[in-house]
């Protein structure tokens, strides 16, 4: 069975009752390189919201000017928008890097308070130009490592805040961690997780258990879910309101944290095998070369939206959970000239799973060219 998300091992599910509840700092150990503190949330989107609320509290409830790349999932910014952030989408190039010439021009009009740099698909972006830009303009740097398994290369080394979203890369029901460089801001950030409910973990456990016992189609049929078209955005769903990390996720993360380097090795090996398999395909080129970092997905770039959509349909018919980028912010879609690369990336990139709970030969059989 090929799933887009990693599946929990029975031993980890069965050990839940016996696993201890680690405190925030201990739990953050595997991600926390060089940071002064950690705050946990159910979702990365709530960690971003907490930065906005924390900044506003420290600045007389002013709304921060929050710059982020135009190639970004709109739904993930809903809590930050609701918290009052003034979102400004800066352009990235076809290489997913910020177009610094454009950012310099934008800053001449109004500089940011917060700037987010995304390590897309777990691949490290050089954060030095971002840090220099932030220091020149008095902004705080947020490294968004939601797609990264753990610190690797320069990931996590420069940001005033670093965000990881372990629930995207590990078999856990929820969980995102925000690391801070300055311990002083921690209490304010934690305010937005504490006092909030945690999402219930039981539906996630039940769903994964059914998927493990009846791999593949039955769950899809039970759920009555149809496959999404390549060009179709993910259905607009409001995030569940619970912002705190669930006790189940806390227990599972404490067990999985020490195994991250093993999972990273499996992800790299799966990506390497897909790279070899796709290297002689007539269409669809790997976005990046071999890397020391653990990939979130194996990313293919196609020459046209039609070619990407055809490959997507073909792969899904074979049982490969190929994906497209979920959605783009309305501000980006409304200005296609300024955001041409982000829109092109949305239309021509295709994502294949590489997680550690998939055997390489099963991935190649389903997701090879």
Ligand X SMILES: Cc1ncc(COP(=O)(O)O)c(C=O)c1O
User: Of 28, 134, 158, 176, which one interacts with ligand X (CB under 6 A)?
Assistant: 176
Instruction: Give the separation between CA 242 and CA 177, rounded to whole angstroms.
Output: 15
Nearer to ligand X, 146 or 172 (CB): 146
Total residues binding ligand X (CB under 6 A): 13
Q: Name the segment binding ligand X (CB under 6 A); options: 12-20, 42-50, 52-60, 150-158.
A: 42-50
Instruction: Give the separation between CA 199 and CA 49, rounded to whole angstroms.
Output: 17
- The site string for ligand X over 108-127 (x = CB under 6 A, - otherwise) reads ----------x---------
* Tokens found for residue 46: 């709530």
CB of residue 76 to ligand X, shortest distance in Å: 4
Helix crossing, 305-317 with 340-348: angle to 10°? 30
270 binds ligand X (CB under 6 A): no
Q: Name the segment binding ligand X (CB under 6 A); options: 142-150, 194-202, 252-260, 312-320.
A: 142-150
Rounded to the nearest angstrom, the gap between the alpha carbon of residue 111 and the centroid of all alpha carbons in its chain is 26
CB of residue 81 to ligand X, shortest distance in Å: 13
Distances (CA, A) of 249 to 153, 166, 257, 261: 27, 10, 11, 19
Closest CA to 177 of 38, 347, 6: 38
Task: Identify whether the C-beta of residue 293 lies closer than 8 Å to the C-beta of residue 153.
Answer: yes
209 binds ligand X (CB under 6 A): no
CB of residue 168 to ligand X, shortest distance in Å: 6
CB of residue 364 to ligand X, shortest distance in Å: 26
Nearer to ligand X, 99 or 272 (CB): 99
Nearer to ligand X, 170 or 254 (CB): 170
Closest CA to 49 of 237, 236, 201, 242: 242
* Tokens found for residue 290: 């071999």
44 binds ligand X (CB under 6 A): yes
DSSP label at 329? Answer: -
Q: How far apart are the first and last CA of the chain?
A: 18
Nearer to ligand X, 35 or 273 (CB): 35
- The site string for ligand X over 222-261 (x = CB under 6 A, - otherwise) reads ----------------------------------------
Long-range contacts from 125-128, C-beta under 8 angstroms, 24+ separation: 125/96, 125/97, 125/154, 126/97, 126/154, 127/154, 127/157, 127/158, 127/159, 128/154, 128/158
CB of residue 147 to ligand X, shortest distance in Å: 6
CB of residue 283 to ligand X, shortest distance in Å: 25
- The site string for ligand X over 69-108 (x = CB under 6 A, - otherwise) reads ----x--x--------------------------------
* Tokens found for residue 176: 């995102």
User: Of 35, 152, 165, 366, which one interacts with ligand X (CB under 6 A)?
Assistant: 165
CB of residue 280 to ligand X, shortest distance in Å: 30
User: Of 27, 45, 287, 322, which one interacts with ligand X (CB under 6 A)?
Assistant: 45
Which residue is closest to ligand X by CB? 44
Helix crossing, 260-278 with 360-367: angle to 10°? 40
* Tokens found for residue 350: 């295709």
Q: Which residues bind ligand X (CB under 6 A)?
A: 43-45, 73, 76, 118, 144, 146-147, 165, 167-168, 176
């Amino acid at each position: 069975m090929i799933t887009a998300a990693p599946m929990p091992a029975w031993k980890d599910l069965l050990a839940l009752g016996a696993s201890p509840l680690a405190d925030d700092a201990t739990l953050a150990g595997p991600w926390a390189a060089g940071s002064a503190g950690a705050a946990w949330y159910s979702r990365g989107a709530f960690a971003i919201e907490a930065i906005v609320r924390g900044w506003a509290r420290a600045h007389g409830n002013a709304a921060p000017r929050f710059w982020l790349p135009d190639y970004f999932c709109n739904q993930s910014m809903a809590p930050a928008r609701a918290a009052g952030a003034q979102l400004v989408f800066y352009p990235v190039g076809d290489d997913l890097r910020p177009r610094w010439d454009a950012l310099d021009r934008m800053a001449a009009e109004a500089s940011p308070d917060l700037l987010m740099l995304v390590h897309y698909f777990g691949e490290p972006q050089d954060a030095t130009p971002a840090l220099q830009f932030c220091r020149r303009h008095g902004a705080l740097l947020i490294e968004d490592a939601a797609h990264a398994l753990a610190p690797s290369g320069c990931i996590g080394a420069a940001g005033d805040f670093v965000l990881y979203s372990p629930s995207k890369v590990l078999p856990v029901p929820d969980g995102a961690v925000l690391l801070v460089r300055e311990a002083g801001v921690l209490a304010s950030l934690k305010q937005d997780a504490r006092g909030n409910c945690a999402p219930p973990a039981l539906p996630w456990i039940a769903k994964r258990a059914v998927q493990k016992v009846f791999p593949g189609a039955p769950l899809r049929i039970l759920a009555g879910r149809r496959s999404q078209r390549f060009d179709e955005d993910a259905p607009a769903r409001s995030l569940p309101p619970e912002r705190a990390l669930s006790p189940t996720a806390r227990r599972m993360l404490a067990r999985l944290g020490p195994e991250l380097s093993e999972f990273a090795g499996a992800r790299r090996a799966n990506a390497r095998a897909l790279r070899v398999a796709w290297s002689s395909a007539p269409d669809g080129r790997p976005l990046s070369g071999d890397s020391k970092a653990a990939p979130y997905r194996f990313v293919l770039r196609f020459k046209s939206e039609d070619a990407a959509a055809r490959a997507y349909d073909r792969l899904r018919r074979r049982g490969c959970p190929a994906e497209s980028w979920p959605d783009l912010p309305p501000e980006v879609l409304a200005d296609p000239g300024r955001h041409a690369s982000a829109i092109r990336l949305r239309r021509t990139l295709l994502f294949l799973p590489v997680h550690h709970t998939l055997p390489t030969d099963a991935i190649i059989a389903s997701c090879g060219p």
